Structure 1
Amino acid sequence: MKPPLSDIGSYRLPVEVVDPLRLGLSAVSTQTIAAIIKEVPAYAEPFAGELGLKIARAVRAALGAFLRLVSRPGADPGTPMASAVEAAYALGRGEARNGRSLDALLAAYRVGARVAWRELAAISVREGQPSATIADFAELVFAYIDELSAASVAGHADELAATGRIRQRRLQELGQALIAGEPAHVLQGLAEQAEWPPPQTLTALLLTERAARWVIDLLDPRTLQIADVVPDLPGTTVLLVPDPQGASRPTLNRLLTGHDVVIGPARPWALVKSSVDRALRVHRLCPPADGAVVDTEDHLAEVVVTADSSALEDLRARALAPLAGERGAAAAKLIETLRSWLLHHGRRDDVAAELFVHPQTVRYRMARLRELYGDRLRDPQWVLALTIALAIPSWDIPKS
């Protein structure tokens, strides 16, 4: 029983059918290549250069492999087909590397199959082959092209996947180097390897991995994502977003609302480490909650005041030394009043409103503070020291 015609690894054509085809193979190849150049515009330029010679050789090799496949004896049935499939797979990978789409490749196969069959069939008709043999031959041609098309599609897809994985790894390396503060020449080299065009500035976002998955598609496609870079904040991701400054920064804030995000300052792209450091600092000072967006630009005073927590503690101890003799609750009320008095520039009613006490209570407490501090409350240097020391409550000072 004759095997299915689509099983081209098993089907054979008689020698008297194949020999005339082999003699006409060069002309058939030339016609096929000309048709591909004419009907598939994506191949017009490649065929004009050195790459065209390689593609032309591939077309001739594929047609020659087909004739060998359908005319050889029965031994070692897989070798010709395996060789042809391997070449088609390599062609698919090469097309992906050269930036051509799968559409162009499949169109070339369709055109090639049609023209090759037309020319080969014309030879068989001139040789007087019966119609049944020519029909079988047609089915074999198209089954063969289907096999090659499938192999090239697989090669194209594999190359794109491999290229994507390589580029993703290089982008990760670039992101890690940016966060580590590597020198500019190192960063420039990594950016070129990753085919990542550097923006003018980058801004660091600190958020959870889940939130990052939600928002990254809303951001500039050049955004870099680096996960698990903060040991004391597990599950936290850093996004480095190109150029969200000026008018675009409020838009970024709106996009991120609902995702518990800290936004760092915009920095020249190679210096974005300082934006990451600022975001981390503010995150520890006032971690976002309930979907809040915390902009570091709104917390500059806290960042400056708490930059050296041990120095701030020493300053507080010195500035509050006159209160050492007061009892705990009384001392706490005096410190609270002194802080408000400094921030409100001595406006008694404003201090009373903030502390929810009577203005007379403020007057009494300030009288006690003047007894303890004396002329120091009129000394600009002491007022500055007290203002800095009491700028934020002591429990909000992050520990070094």
Structure 2
Amino acid sequence: MTAVHDVERPLADIPREFAEVFRAHLGDIAEEMIEEIRASVPEYSRPSGTYEHTVRRAVEEALAGFVNRAGDRRVSRGRLLEVYRIIGGGEASEGRPLDSLQSALRTCARVAWRRLATESERLNLSRQHMCDIGEAILVYLDEIAAAAAEGYAEAQARAAGELELRRRRLLGLLVADPPPDARAVEDLSRSVGWTLPRTVACVALAPRRQGELPRPALPPDVLADLDRPDPCLVVPDPDGPGRQALLHPLLSDWIVAAGPAVKLGEGAVSLRLAGRALELTRRGVLGHDTVIRVADHVSTLMIFQDEALIRLMEQTRLAPLRGLRPGRRDRLAETLLAWLQSGYNANEAAARLHIHPQTVRYRLRQAVELFADQLKDPDGRFELEAALRAWALRTQRRDARL
């Protein structure tokens, strides 16, 4: 906490008689100040409740503190400033603007100056004394206003921190496996003002560089926890208007993988799939220059779900390629995969590969000869295509490193 330093800043040379006159009429002066505050500051116009208590305490503490310090220079201002820090914090907790309290203090200063003008002739105050007392009132007002502002800022920071902690706790509930009781989610969402959506999508993140990254600017309904070991977001109603684009500003600092939209209670599934896509992205299997969406890469995630199994499939299904030179082997595998993905259409395969159809047909004659048995069997064709796709993804990653 940044405290207002308790270093005496002497008030002006105020005659003790003036302080004693004020002390004798503190009750009347306080009531006059309170009435003027009610009339001029709308936030404090209510006649009862916390408003009444706050106004009365602020006025009485300010008056007593001023008179005590004017009458006795040995009086410390530490307690007074702490009281005003507490008052400022209370205003923040009540949701009232700090301007209202500062307006109330200025109103008190006006009333004090009027009383000064009224009593000055009876006390035979010189013009210099009048100026000194006026300056003392302004100095004193600045001190207690600064203390109130400090307490107000501290309370706001605490409230923001507590709200952020509850939002993170809510995110944790939404991605928990097994999911928590729905009532716990409802209660926590209500406490942070988060409207329960029909669906959510979880987003897995990985930093693109070492060091502290700036906090991304996100809509208030997006829950974020970037400090957990697996940084992530929860996006409500991800298929709504404009939701697809909200992740793009993160790309300069983060690798972003978005899981599928799921019902509440299934967030762990969305996060797990997003995390798997993020892992493949970091390994180079998937590109990372845009938002990786699980829905666009389902077959790749299926292929790499069990890599020991896919390696076994490659060894079995791609065995006919082992005896070929690397260049020829890669060209045949690439052409065969394009042909299978094109529905056995050589022209379309040629367009995919940006080569002449005759070249495709030449390579296919060799490939069909090597894989004839597998191509005749539906299960064989399915596994062959899966093995070729895994090979192609690994080849792309290898070529990207060269």
User: TM-score under structure 1 normalisation?
Assistant: 0.77
Deviation at 1:92, TM superposition (A): 1.1
In structure 1, the partner of 2:226 is 227
Q: How well do the aligned residues superpose, as a CA RMSD in angstroms?
A: 3.7
For each residue in 1:293-331, what CA deviation from the matched residue of structure 2 results, as whole angstroms up to 9, or x when unmatched?
33332212212232233333344444446x388556576
Report what 2:246 is aligned to.
Answer: 252
Per the TM alignment, residue 368 of structure 1 is displaced from its structure 2 partner at its CA by 3.8
Distance 2:227 2:22 in 1: 63
More helix by share: 1
- What is the CA deviation profile of residues 253-311 of structure 1, one whole-angstrom value per residue up to 9, with x for unaligned ones? 65556665333333446543333322222233344767433333221221223223333
User: Which residue number corresponds to residue 109 of structure 1?
Assistant: 105
SS of 1:262's partner is strand
Secondary structure in 2 aligned to 1:22? Answer: helix
- Alignment check: 8 A CA contact 1:351 1:362 kept: no
Instruction: Point out 4+ residue stretches in structure 1 off by more than 6 angstroms.
Output: 209-212
Following superposition, the deviation at residue 36 of structure 1 comes to: 0.9
Aligned residue in 1 for 2:296: 298
Per the normalisation by structure 2, the TM-score is 0.77
Whole-angstrom distance in 1 between the partners of 2:378 and 2:250: 43
Partner of 2:144: 148
Match of 1:130, SS? Answer: coil
What is the CA-CA distance between 1:35 and the residue it aligns to? Answer: 1.0
Residue 55 (structure 1) aligns with: 55
Structure 2 residue matching 1:216: 3-state secondary structure: coil
Q: For residue 277 of structure 2, what is the aligned residue in structure 1?
A: 282
* CA shift for structure 1 position 379: 3.2
The answer for unaligned runs of 5 or more in structure 1 is: 232-236
CA distance in 2, matches of 1:93, 1:274: 43
Matches within 5 A, 1:1-400: 7-8=10-11, 11=13, 13-15=15-17, 17-45=18-46, 47-72=47-72, 77-79=74-76, 81-122=77-118, 124-125=119-120, 127-132=122-127, 133-176=129-172, 178-181=174-177, 183-185=179-181, 186-188=184-186, 190-191=188-189, 195-200=192-197, 201-204=200-203, 206-208=205-207, 216-217=216-217, 219-227=218-226, 229-230=228-229, 237-252=231-246, 255=249, 260-268=255-263, 271-287=266-282, 291-320=289-318, 323=320, 326-327=323-324, 329=326, 335-351=333-349, 354=352, 356=355, 357-370=359-372, 373=373, 377-393=375-391, 396=394
Report the Cα distance in structure 2 between the residues aligned to 1:256 and 1:168, rounded to whole angstroms: 20
- Per-residue displacement from partner, 1:106-152 (whole Å, max 9, x unpaired)? 11111111123313542x24745334444443333333222211211
Q: 1:247 to 1:23 in 2, by over 3 A?
A: closer
Contact residue 336 and residue 364 of structure 2 kept, 8 A: no
Look up the match of 2:400.
none
Residues 24 and 333 from structure 1, CA distance in 2 versus in 1: closer, same or farther, beyond 3 angstroms?
closer
Instruction: Output the CA distance in 1 between the equivalents of 2:83 and 2:304.
Output: 65
Structure 2 Cα separation of the partners of residues 289 and 188 of structure 1: 37
Partners of 1:257 and 1:291 within 8 A in 2: yes
Query: Per the alignment, do residues 246 and 159 of structure 1 end up closer, same or farther by CA in structure 2, a change over 3 Å counting?
Result: closer
- Conservation of the 8 A alpha-carbon contact between 1:263 and 1:296: yes
CA contact (8 A) 1:216 1:223 kept: no
Aligned residues: 374
**C-alpha contact 1:113 1:145 (8 A) present in aligned 2:** yes
Percent identity, please.
26
Choose 238-247 or 90-99, whichever is displaced more: 238-247
- Residues 226/103 of structure 1: CA separation in 2 closer, same or farther (3 Å cut): same
For the Cα contact (< 8 Å) 2:332–2:363, is it kept in 1?
no
* Structure 2: segments with no counterpart, 5+ residues: 1-7, 398-402
Alignment partners' CA distance in 2, 1:272 and 1:151: 45
Letter aligned with residue 216 of structure 2 = I
The alignment partner of 2:85 has SS state of helix
User: Are the aligned partners of 2:203 and 2:256 in contact in 1 as well (CA < 8 Å)?
Assistant: no
Per the TM alignment, residue 351 of structure 1 is displaced from its structure 2 partner at its CA by 4.0
Deviations 1:374-393 (A, max 9, x none): xx533333333333343432
- In 1, Cα distance between the equivalents of 2:215 and 2:153? 28
2:337 touches 2:385 (CA, 8 Å); kept in 1? yes
CA distance in 2, matches of 1:334, 1:144: 88
What residue number does 1:234 align with? none
Q: Letter of the aligned partner of 2:105 in structure 1?
A: Y
**Would the aligned equivalents of 1:6 and 1:140 in 2 still touch at CA under 8 Å?**
no
Between the aligned partners of 1:68 and 1:214, the Cα distance in structure 2 is 49
Cα deviation, residue 91, structure 1: 0.9
Tell me how far apart the structure 2 counterparts of residues 250 and 83 of structure 1 sit (CA, whole Å). 54
Contact 1:29 1:63 (C-alpha < 8 Å) held by counterparts: yes
Q: 1:64 to 1:246 in 2, by over 3 A?
A: closer
DSSP 3-state at the match of 1:307: coil
SS at match of 1:248: coil
Cα distance in 1 for partners of 2:141, 2:229 equals 54
Q: Distance in 1 between matches of 2:299 and 2:24?
A: 87
Deviations along 1:189-232, one digit per CA (max 9) or x if unpaired, are 55455x25145234415252779956822x3123333336457x
Give the match's secondary structure for 2:96: coil
